[in-house]
Amino acid sequence: AMLTNFHLPKSTLLMLVSAFAGRDRILAAYATAIERRYRFYSFGDCMLITSPHPALPREPGRE
């Protein structure tokens, strides 16, 4: 999971977040944020990004 703020369009930080979560998921989150009038940039609102895939089971005896 990642906790991050809403970055400015075309910023390298937005590209970094998209690399973790996927472009389509981030664009959908941004569309919702704009619709709900969230604040962007350093002192704005934040979002929690979780994995779209379930965690893989661990092998017994491996930490």
pLDDT in tens, 5-18: 999 888 999 999 99
Inside any domain, residue 23: yes
**The dihedral sign for the CA sequence 7, 28, 22, 48:** positive
Inside any domain, residue 54: no
Average pLDDT over residues 45-60: 80
Inside any domain, residue 33: yes
Distance of CA 4 to the CA centre of its chain: 7
Q: What does the alpha-carbon distance between residue 16 and residue 51 come to, in Å, rounded to a whole number?
A: 15
Average pLDDT over residues 38-50: 89
3 state SS of 3: strand
Domain span at residue 31?
2-49
Q: Answer yes or no: pTM beyond 0.85.
A: no
Confidence of residue 50 (pLDDT cuts 50, 70, 90): confident
Inside any domain, residue 61: no
Domain count, the chain: 1
Inside any domain, residue 63: no
Average pLDDT over residues 41-50: 89
How crowded is residue 36: how many other Cβ atoms within 10 Å of its Cβ? 8
**Cα diameter, the chain:** 48
Average pLDDT of the chain to the nearest whole number: 87
